[in-house]
A and B are shown apart, each in its own frame.
Chain A
Amino acid sequence: MDSQSELFSNLINSLQDGFSMLDSNGVLIEANPALCRMTGYTREELIGKRAPLPFWPPNEASEIQKALHETFSGKFLNHEFTYMRKNGERFFVIVSPSAFKDQHGKIINYIATVKDISELKKTEKALSESEAKYRTLVEWTRMPIFVSRDNVILYANPAAIKMLGARSPQEIIGKSTFDFIHSDFHQILVDQVKNLPEHGIDTPLFEAKFIRVNGSIIIGEMHSTSIVFEGKLSLLSSIADITELKRTLEELKEKQQYLMDSQAVAQVGSWSLDLQSSNLTWTEQSYHNFGVNPETFTPGVESLLELMHPDDRAAMVEWIRLTQANEKSGKLEFRIPLPDGTVRVLEGRGMLLFDKNKKPIRMIGTNQDITDRKRLENDIIAEKKKAEDSKKVMARFLGIAAHELRTPVTTLSLFLELSQRQLDKGEPVNAATLSRLRGSADHLKDLVAELLDISRLERGFVILKPENKDIVPLILNCLESFKIIAPKRRFSFFSSEEKIELTFDSMRINQVLSNLLDNAVKYTPEESPIEVRVDANPNFVRVAVIDYGPGITKEHQQDLFSEFSRGNSNETIRTCGLGLGLSVCRGIINLHGGKMGLFSEDGSGSTFYFELPRNGIK
């Protein structure tokens, strides 16, 4: 062997791949050790054989021969075949055939390298199996997943298709990712993806609105990572549909807000006391009801009692005890004195909550601001009492009025009857009888006038005829007439000024003063003096009638000016008419824009006065 042949021989012997050479007649003239190793035949068993070669599986031999023949016609192509070892085992090979030609183009030798690719095939199979496994996983998962590159969707799993409301993957694949993401979130998506440096590093979860095929909106939490898909860097995104969750949360928030709003409207605060931790929690309205700042006040039984009116604390302690003992504690009213001096009235209710084992775990309850309701209740009670009082006063008045009216009517009828009897007997009616008849009629007239006055004042039918003039002469005249009526009385007069100009209705003021003087004469002993005192200042003029009689007790002073009131004893009732006098007087003075009053000490006289404004009647 020459050196070139030796080199060639060494080369093919050292090849990892199998090598075979056939002569132009198709007889195998060379097989290297690698080919022998692969096929399980010795070199001797192979040399001299012609096609079909022993390691061609009989059922594929013609296929192989045909393929090789095509190849040898000039093209250089690899073929994948199944070969068969001597022991019958099949294996995969890649055969790279070629032909040596002489200078005339005549084929001298056929050569072929054979590469055993059984291992490669196995790996390929395993790989495809594993890919199938992952694909199944991705296809079956309920988590919507899609893959995109340059904002074009390359893949979407069934969950993603379903989420987006598509009927088939074709409605999604190939489209722009932006078609399915609300425009408000495009920039966010761009920013997030831009920050994705290389594959393996994820974006954070971010919320976005997605547009379904039918245009409806869903809210999803998206998360992306870069992967290699079909050999190129792509974006793998998964989306969690949180539309329902969001809606539930919104509803919950709305409900909570509604609860808070309702509490604010009803002024109802609620609280919860954990019996294990003794933790007391209040809603915002509770803080408001108790008039404290949520940032500075810590709710607790002690601090609660501190806020309460001291008189209500014991009841609260007892109420908490009853509630905690699960006894009927009902509702509790208590007062909260506020810093501004007002008092708020709250109504508390509570109940005990139990766990599965019927062990008490929690006390819950409400507190409601019932200040307004309470005020209204009190007003109603007061109004009711006033109405009842006025009914009583009315009944009393009717009794008195009947009594007072019957007396002159009795006299009238008795004297008329007597006169009749006298006339029947042919006797004349004497002047004394007529005078008594006249007196009774006058008495009746006065009573009726008094009733009429109060009724007119009450209904606003009294119209003043005011004049601007000096009041002193009016007072002096009135006093003079009383000196004639009660000649034994000592009357005195004092005035701070000689002449006092102001606006008043002379007839009405005379009526008031006469009434006060009349009372002083009627209710005090004859020997006790009566003073009239006039004090003028720039704002008003005060006219006072002062007596030194028995005086009036405090409680009687209070209702003296109310209608039909008449002092305190049976003794006075007889002399006092209907008891409307003072209330008529007050009505007249009120019309003048002034006021009426009384100072009296039981046992040391009384001062009745009226004040008239100097700036005229408004």
Chain B
Amino acid sequence: MKKTILIVEDDLDILFAVTTFLENEGYAVYNAENGKAALEILKKHDLPNLILLDMLMPVMDGWKFSSEFVPIYDSKAPIIVMTAASDAAQRAKDIHADGWIGKPFSLDELLAMIKKYERT
């Protein structure tokens, strides 16, 4: 069975590129354009093996998403923060994320992070 990854990212180009890559790597990928869409997906599907989370998004941002997600799902899914902000590490710490990756990143870097934190 394929491992699943939820990508929460409002930049459609990034979303498309990462999705294409991860599917080629053999993952099942769910896409959400914001935190609210991500919560909707989580309601309908099993908990993914990992969540890639952008922070600055319209409608519901990364902070709000994690504050709603963590209590409900008891942080059973590891979260990796993807951000273009200079203080990426701080943002990851804010929401008790497992790891972070700063934009721009390479696909190999991303894959290494996923392998490190994905729930098996």
Contact = CB atoms under 8 A, between A and B. Distances in A.
Given A440-B13, A574-B10, A410 B85 contact: no
A409 B104 CA distance: 6
A417 interface: yes
Given A410-B105, A418-B107, A574-B57, A403 B85 contact: yes
Contact of B56 (A403, A410, A418, A436): A403
Contact of A417 (B84, B86, B102, B106): B106
B33 to A, nearest CB: 11
Interface string A545-574: 000000000000000000000000011011
B21 to A, nearest CB: 6
B61 A417 contact: no
A575 B58 contact: yes
A574 B83 CA distance: 13
Contacts of A399: 85-86
Interface in A401-440: 402-404, 406-407, 409-415, 417-418, 421, 436, 439-440
A564 to B, nearest CB: 15
A434 to B, nearest CB: 13
Contacts of B17: 411, 414-415, 418, 436
Given A570-B56, A571-B59, A574-B58, A407 B16 contact: no
A407 B59 contact: no
B87 to A, nearest CB: 8
Interface string B16-32: 11101100100000000
A573 B55 CA distance: 12
A402 B86 contact: yes
Nearest to A415: B17
B13 A417 contact: no
A571 B18 CA distance: 23
Contacts of A413: 104, 106
B13 A411 contact: yes
A439 B17 CA distance: 14
A407 B106 contact: no
Given A403-B56, A406-B104, A407-B84, A418 B21 contact: yes
A421 B25 CA distance: 12
Interface string A390-407: 000000000100111011
B119 interface: no
Interface in B1-50: 10-11, 13-14, 16-18, 20-21, 24
Given A574-B58, A575-B58, A410 B14 contact: yes
Contact of A573 (B18, B56, B103): B56
**Which applies to chain A's interface (DSSP): helix, strand, loop or mixed?**
helix
Contacts of B56: 403, 570, 573-574
Contact of B58 (A403, A418, A571): A571
Contacts of A571: 58-59
A144 B10 CA distance: 112
Nearest to A417: B107
Contact of A570 (B21, B61, B102): B61
Nearest to A411: B13
B84 A418 contact: no
Nearest to A414: B17
Residue of A403, A414, A421 with most chain B CB atoms under a 10 A cut-off: A414
Interface in B53-87: 56-59, 61, 84-86
A399 B87 CA distance: 9
Nearest to A420: B107
B86 A414 contact: no
Contacts of B107: 414, 417-418, 421
A117 B21 CA distance: 161
Interface string B95-109: 000000011111100
A574 B84 CA distance: 12
Nearest to A408: B13
A418 to B, nearest CB: 6
B104 A410 contact: yes
A575 B107 CA distance: 26
A142 B107 CA distance: 116
Contacts of A417: 21, 106-107
Nearest to B21: A418
Contacts of A418: 17, 20-21, 107
Contacts of B102: 406
Given A411-B17, A415-B17, A421-B107, 17 more contacts: A402-B84, A403-B85, A404-B84, A406-B84, A406-B103, A410-B14, A410-B103, A410-B104, A411-B11, A411-B13, A411-B14, A414-B13, A414-B14, A414-B107, A439-B13, A440-B13, A571-B58
17 contacts: A402-B85, A403-B86, A404-B84, A406-B84, A406-B103, A406-B104, A409-B103, A409-B104, A410-B105, A411-B13, A411-B14, A414-B104, A414-B107, A418-B21, A421-B21, A436-B17, A570-B56
Interface of A: 399, 402-404, 406-407, 409-415, 417-418, 421, 436, 439-440, 570-571, 573-575
7 interchain residue pairs of minimum CB distance: A406-B84, A414-B17, A410-B104, A411-B13, A410-B103, A403-B84, A406-B103
